[in-house]
Amino acid sequence: MLCMANLVTRTYVASIRNHQQVRDDLNSLGFAASKLWNVARWTCDCIWSETGTIPDHGTLKAYLKSHERYADLNAQSSQAILEELAEAFDSWYAHRQNGNGDANPPGYRKQGDEHPRSTVTFKEDGFKHDPDHNRIRLSKGANLKKSWSDFVLCEYATGPDVDVQHVQQVRAVWTGKEWELHIVCRVDTGDPDPPGDRVAGIDLGICNFAAVAVGDEALLYPGGALKEDDYYFQKERATCDDSDSHKAQRLDRKRRGRRDHFLHAVSKDVVAECAARNVGTIAVGDLSGIREDADWGDHGNLDLHGWAFDRFLEMLEYKAAERGISVERVDERGTSKSCASCGTTDDSQRVERGLYVCDECGVVANADVNGAENIRQKVLPNLVCDGGDRDNGWMAQPAVRLFDKSTGQVAPQEWASREP
């Protein structure tokens, strides 16, 4: 039995060894997923025309659970399609609310007269895992069971160090050339000893994706590479006539992949650097609701909606757990306005986006590092601000660590090159 305190989520990409035997069955499921998406998309148009509102996935399910296309897939797989469409509409609406007039609503999934192969998600009732023989049985909907077998039996292969256990979900994904399985597992990381008892604070932001304060030194992770990618893909996406065309979907997959890679690289480096400094606890600002509460102007809000905060924190938490480091989410309100040296709070002290100057004690600091140090102090209730001379020290001169596009890794600024 797994210890719940040490469970993390992992997604393993697996090739299908018997691809030739199961390709037709998987194709039929992928085409069925696209057809259900299109039926749901048409239903959204009808509901919008009648009520002026965009239906959520619960409403879509109520409308479509008796529809013929709903029964092409396992019930949970059909529900996942409707949830994805509802989330796509929510994302589009949020972009429009924040001034992005170029944002397009989710479109229909068609390539000329053909349907593309959509990803099919199999939840608990939709698959059966045979770990002894590296096989996964995927369920079909009632309609597709009539002409073929009741299930698709996939033989999979993963990397040599991967142990596929405690599977929570399986996704059949068409890469453009072949099908592959994305297997979501719960993994027991054990109970490693923490590297030490020091505390680090992390402030997440726009220009600098993350600032890390450890009490006597700081690290800065600029978000330029992530913003450059987002800008590039937004421009390319705007050239697509259909928001669900093959080109648009390919761009979306590539954008998500590059963003995930950036987040993995930064979270991995943050944890490694904290462990090297004997950190046992990482305090990070809880950004729940920040998209709704913050007002950064149109440009800022567009960037804000592009952040993958939740994804980054998930990665940070499981990577930290593997090192025995705990992650605490703390309320970050006021951390950007207070001096981490003397505690004085004044809105005017953050004189520029990147600089914090305290009129009370004279400290000069990188604004994001000042915020990270305030977050760190929130889990140190007995800490008394010492008012020491920090303006020429670590708070003013953090070590910059850049994401290097050529290597896909994070390195010190003097090593990294962000040239494409």
Alpha helices by DSSP H, listed for 98-223, are: 142-145
- The strand pairing partners of 180, in sequence order, are 15, 173
For 50, residues 6+ apart whose C-beta sits below 8 A from its C-beta are none
Residue with token string 């608990």: 124
What is the token pair recorded at 390?
A: 């920090």
Better pLDDT: 351 or 139? 139
The predicted pLDDT at position 406 comes to: 77
Residue 32 CB neighbours (<10 A): 26
226-272: per-residue pLDDT in tens? 888 888 888 888 888 776 677 777 787 788 888 888 998 999 999 99
Helices 224-238 and 297-306 pack at an angle, to 10 degrees, of 100
Percent of the residues in the chain that have a pLDDT greater than 70, as a whole number: 84
- Find, among 381, 379, 354, 383, the residue nearest to 369 by Cα: 354
226 compared with 15, residue with greater pLDDT:
15
How far apart CA 241 and CA 101 sit, in angstroms, is 15
pLDDT surpassing 90 at residue 46: yes
Q: Does the pLDDT value for residue 392 go beyond 90?
A: no
Alpha carbon distances (Å) from 77 to 73, 82, 102, 105, 155: 6, 9, 31, 23, 20
Tell me which of 27-41, 69-83, 84-98, 302-316 is least confident. 302-316
**pLDDT band of 30, cuts 50, 70, 90:** very high
**How far apart are the C-alpha atoms of 74 and 81, rounded to whole Å?**
11
Domain residue spans of the chain: 4-188, 198-412
Least confident of 70-79, 155-164, 363-372, 382-391: 382-391
**Average pLDDT, stretch 120-132?**
95
Mean pLDDT of the chain: 83
Report residue 196's pLDDT band, with 50, 70 and 90 as the boundaries.
very high
CATH H-level, domain 198-412: superfamily? YqgF/RNase H-like domain (3.30.420.140)
Phi-psi region of 54 (alpha: psi -120 to 50; beta: other; left: phi over 0): beta
Q: What is the DSSP string of 369-418?
A: HHHHHHHHHTT-TT--------TTSTTTSPEEEEEETTTTEEEETTT---
* Block residue for tokens 């008012």: 387
Cα 246 to chain centroid distance, Å, stands at 23
With 0-12 CB in 10 A as exposed, 13-18 as middle and 19+ as buried, what is 326? middle
